[in-house]
Structure 1
Amino acid sequence: MKFNLLKASSIFFLLISSAIVLSGCSSGSQEQATDEVASPHLKFTDYSNLKLGFTTQNFLAALPVSLETSKQFIDYAAEQGYEWLELRDPNADLSIEESQEIAAYAQEKDIEISYAIQKGLLDDDFWPTFEKGLQNAMAFEGPKFIRSLASLSEFASDTTKQGWTDEELVMAVQYADSAAALANEVGLQYVIENGGEPFFGKSDQYFGVADLFAKTSEQVGWQFDTANPFSVARIHGATDSVRNFLQANMDNLFYIHLKSARNGQAQEVLGKNPLPLPEVLQLLSEHSVSYVAVELQAVDDKELAFANQENSLIYLKAQNIINNRQ
């Protein structure tokens, strides 16, 4: 603790100085004791091999991606006790130099970073975004993932579209294989998130993400969103079918978005989900899939976004899913 002492020649100078010195010694002792206690980390109560993080997507509507906001997210993660972040850079707007600076800052704070773009395989700008994002992703230490969506523009532009056509599926498989091969060459794992496309196809009428993974190479990984099959997907999946697919494909799963859906809508705060979150976490632990990122339906109010994040932790603690441990 620093003090500015006024010079004085009176007797009161000695009295004031003595009081300040005593106060400084006391405060210094308290500060030293505080420094010796490590910040509490958010830990899974029953699964010590899982790491809790969050995706910065939760805040992007209020805090668009930049060098400054990325550092703010890292500070927040460290203060709250998270172990890692999915850094969402939707259009790969960060430069390589900015990514390197963010990576160095994250290392100082002991936070792992995974990089993600927000493009679907069939988007017109998928390839320029992916190629730039790949260069950014190489800067980060941690799980070494680069993530994209399975689909986006084709469903966003056609509200009646139920799933991929045969031609679209063939193209999506080719693009996924090519992206995974490029990522593998630079030591990264490419993962695809299930999103707006149906989870399962319907005979020869349309195809879904399960059909995509059935045809892609072993290099193409999966990032599972626990709520999307029951909310974002154009045709919602049956809980038992999604559960069975998850159980059968754990060897291709690299991380998840821990998110909740209710009445067909993704939720702003974690809660109950058609596929119970504890079931998913148990499977992750059993198969040593370590990375869990909280994802919430984004809001454009900064204070509300942070409140939703903190209320989600309150829910997880109330369910005895996580706790704070030194």
Structure 2
Amino acid sequence: MNTTRIWRHFDIWLLAAVALLTIAGVAMIQSAIGGNEDLAQLVPRQAIYALIGLVVLILTAAIDYRIWSALSRVLYMVVLGFLGLILAAGVVGFGSARWFNIGIVNVQPSELSKILMILVLADYLSKHMLDIHQPKILIRSLVLVGVPAMLVFLQPDLSTAIVLGVIWVALVWAAGARPKHLLALAGIGAMAPLLAWPFLQNYQKARVITFLFPDPNAQFGETYNVIQALITIGSGGWFGKGYGSGTQVQLRFLKVRHTDFIFSAMSEEFGFVGALIFILIFIFVIYRCLRAASIARDLYGALICYGVAVLLAFQGFFNIGMNLKLLPVSGLPLP
């Protein structure tokens, strides 16, 4: 095996940026839990996940990515199998059945489905690139992503279902779909919230309602959490209060500070400048993914890179927008 050829295009800058964000993320979780013994296991667990991710990264980088095209049908069956099984035997948490307990950790198949569906859609669209202008190809690709999206929605996990839809839109656009077809589908998509509303859980409806009609005097619930997030961000000022010294974080006024609102926690401890540096590094990661797409040897590789870039961008900026009260509260974590 020619190792020089394999690693010739390895993006060390992308790896360095991802490693930096990962280390910062684990450190922020350590600060955010603030001595909470019930959450103390999260830090070593996240460190282990990071190491596992590094091993997976190296192994997959050493493999020709086109092997995933040959395994596309298998990957799709894996997605449907896991998502179907989670509805029957998943661990319930926060009102949703989203996890498998395999002993030492809980595994969330819907997170895996995001990556696998990028591979599956990239394979389908690249194989039909000459027919992408035909409506039937778009409809088939929509069905392809629609089935797992529906299974995710039934957990219920509306946020991930939306992410899968965004990935589909981005990939069919990148594959060369006609604008008029995309506009028609966008019109249908605009009706989706109205059609889905009767099937939403009460807590999901509450998130939308409190976003549209917030109670400024709320003492609990989603509105209270967002108000505290804004106070936390403002508390950081320009340069922050220092690592582990954020009053809103350490005194636990900010809820779910180690997950949904970790951006607010980071902003309080490192200020506007620190938050801006984080965002710039995050944008750099997205840029390197888009750059990889532009130099990919074929459409399949390009679509994979586009899909990953869109996944990171949408999920990351949605979470930041949620912290800034620009978007409704959701379960989308900061990547």
* TM-score normalised by L of structure 1: 0.30
Bigger helix fraction: 2
Find the structure with the greater CA-based Rg. 1
* TM-score normalised by L of structure 2: 0.30
